[in-house]
Amino acid sequence: MARNDNLLSPERDFAEASGLDTALRPKSLDEFIGQKQLKDNLSIYIQAAKKRNEPLDHCLFYAPPGLGKTTLSYILAKEMGVNIKVTSGPVLTRPGDLATILTTEIQEGDILFIDEIHRLNAAVEEALYPAMEDFTYFFNTGGSGGSATTLKIDIPRFTLVAATTRTGLLTGPLRDRFGISFNLSFYNETELAAILQRSAGLLGSRTEFDALKLIARRSRGTPRIANRLLRRVRDFADVKTGGLINCEVAEEALTSMNIDREGLDELDRRILLAIANKFNGGPVGLETLSISVSEEQDTLTDVIEPFLIQKGFIQRTPRGRIITPKAAKHLGIKLHESSSDSSENLPLFNDENRHGLENETK
């Protein structure tokens, strides 16, 4: 598998951000499936804000990619009846970039959505504080240090909706300025099957519900992946079954994409096998593991590890990542404890296992 060809690679997300991915997004809280407590609370906050004729309080959504952070930002704008301006942390490189948006592109009550806010430039973050608290912006009109002069400008009352996959990288002052904060959880099989049923209807596909459940089971608890797999299964169905998505064609399609029964793709297995094969089951540090599989550290921590940890396939320890007995069983690897270091309870692999793993990774 080529680098960054995993199910949640940033390049693939960018390429499919428009088109079908956008068309399949729910447009209202009623259409949004899953995250019940979040929806119930947001509904109350929206009704209260509209009743008081005030902007919605600033919102922070944090979760792994593909769980609906961006979708919720658009839903909030629609429910509040306002416009939305979309940008991202890496794009806002200077305070002037933020100033342009807040003074010329945002109207009263509008939503400013900043994706990947944990990557916001420090100077931009500092400029954002008074904008969030007092709806004012300070321009530096000349000089520096004690001789600097600033101009205070009132800006429209707006709602900042921010998304991040790395809430631990947010500074305390920024995090504390969000009045509404939610952690989106992975979706269960029933919720994903319902999402797929809705998407199949929008795509005009004929389906058997058991086939949708099969796809849901292998979607890593993530709606974005579920919809992506549905489109690929639809391709197989159009060619092989006259458009009917049944269990047989779904199984064939998913097998052809190397998606196993637990939803792991080739990159997932390559990471698990690297820990097992190259590092004797672990522990192995993030930087070393990143180099060994030729993937960026952010990809491992933001995209791959949350699901593997949630599945119980790897563990993070103070000394690094280790593979679990559950993962070893899934991969068909035998584990045994080290007699010399049993206190660490780390998995070890004998030469026979290592030889088999080398064959699998070639």
- Among the listed residues 25, 69, 228, 270, the single catalytic one is 69
- Among the listed residues 25, 110, 115, 234, the single catalytic one is 115
- Domain ranges in the chain are 35-183, 189-256, 266-361
What is the CATH code of the structural domain delimited by 189-256?
1.10.8.60
- Among the listed residues 224, 228, 269, 321, the single catalytic one is 224
- Among the listed residues 159, 164, 165, 299, the single catalytic one is 165
pLDDT tens column, 279-323: 989 899 999 999 999 999 988 998 899 999 999 999 999 999 999
* 75, 81, 85, 88 alpha-carbon torsion, rounded to 10°: -30
70 is catalytic: yes
Question: Does the bond joining 283 to the residue before it have cis omega, within 30 degrees of 0?
Answer: yes
115 is catalytic: yes
pLDDT in 10s for each residue of the chain, 362 residues:
333 445 544 334 434 445 667 788 999 999 999 999 999 999 999 999 999 999 999 999 999 999 999 999 999 999 999 999 999 999 999 998 999 999 999 999 999 999 999 999 999 999 999 999 999 998 766 555 555 567 889 999 999 999 999 988 999 999 999 999 999 999 999 999 999 999 999 999 999 999 999 999 999 999 999 999 999 999 999 999 999 999 999 999 999 999 999 999 999 999 999 999 889 898 999 999 999 999 999 889 988 999 999 999 999 999 999 999 999 999 988 755 543 343 344 444 444 443 333 333 33
362 is catalytic: no
Report d(CA 52, CA 57) in Å as an integer: 12
Q: Which residues of 295-325 are buried (b: 16+ CB within 10 A; e: fewer)?
A: beeebbbbbbbbbbeebebbbeeeebbbbbe
CATH of 35-183, one of 3.50.50.60, 3.40.50.300, 3.40.50.720, 1.10.3720.10: 3.40.50.300
Report d(CA 169, CA 292) in Å as an integer: 25
69 is catalytic: yes
5 is catalytic: no
